[in-house]
Amino acid sequence: MSEEHDAVRAADRLLIRDLPQRYACAMDLRDADALRALWEPQQEERLPWIDLGVIERAIIPAWGSLGRTASSIGYHVIDLQEDGRARGLVAATVHLAADGELIEQQILYRDEYRRDDQAGWRFVRRLHELRYGRVVGPDPWLAPPAHWPRSQTGAGVDPSSW
């Protein structure tokens, strides 16, 4: 392979690696426009896969009833294909507030990506596989304010203020 081909593949990997990070950020900040921008136009729905249609019909409307989330992305393995497509495996940990409790979820995403000449790399769809979910304690966002740096514990900055 040529150096130019290798450079293009390296750039593609960096751009694809950014997608799950932006997905997690958009979900935590409840930024519908940022979330929509990550997806290619809706394809034929294939549940249980997440695509733009599922984002529009189920995920964004549910934000009003969900508690806050704090998401972290672990490994991201990317397999590039020659036709402007790629697949990825992404490990994520999500802390989710629900009913006064903090739930920790470990999730494996099986992603499919496509490069568009205009918009660049975007999700085609994701399969959300819950590895486990467990209650880890009371919802920390309901605690008294931390007033950091005076205290290291308590509720901190509301992500919606970003």
Rounded CA-CA distance 49/111 in Å is 9
- Decide which of 159 and 10 is more confident: 10
Q: Which long-range contacts (CB under 8 A, 24 or more apart) does 136-142 make?
A: 136/95, 136/102, 136/103, 136/104, 137/101, 137/102, 138/100, 138/101, 138/102, 139/67, 139/97, 139/98, 139/100, 139/101, 139/102, 140/97, 140/102, 141/67, 141/68, 141/97, 142/97, 142/100
Average pLDDT (64-93) is 94
Mean pLDDT of the chain: 90
Rounded CA-CA distance 57/143 in Å is 33
pLDDT class for 57, splitting at 50, 70, 90? confident
Task: Name all domains of the chain by residue range, CATH numbers in brackets.
Answer: 3-143 (3.10.450.50)
pTM of this prediction?
Answer: 0.90
Rounded CA-CA distance 81/87 in Å is 8
What pLDDT, on a 0 to 100 scale, did the predictor assign at position 43?
66
Q: What is the pLDDT of residues 8-17, one digit of tens each?
A: 888 899 999 9
CA–centroid distance for 1 within its chain: 33
What pLDDT, on a 0 to 100 scale, did the predictor assign at position 160?
61
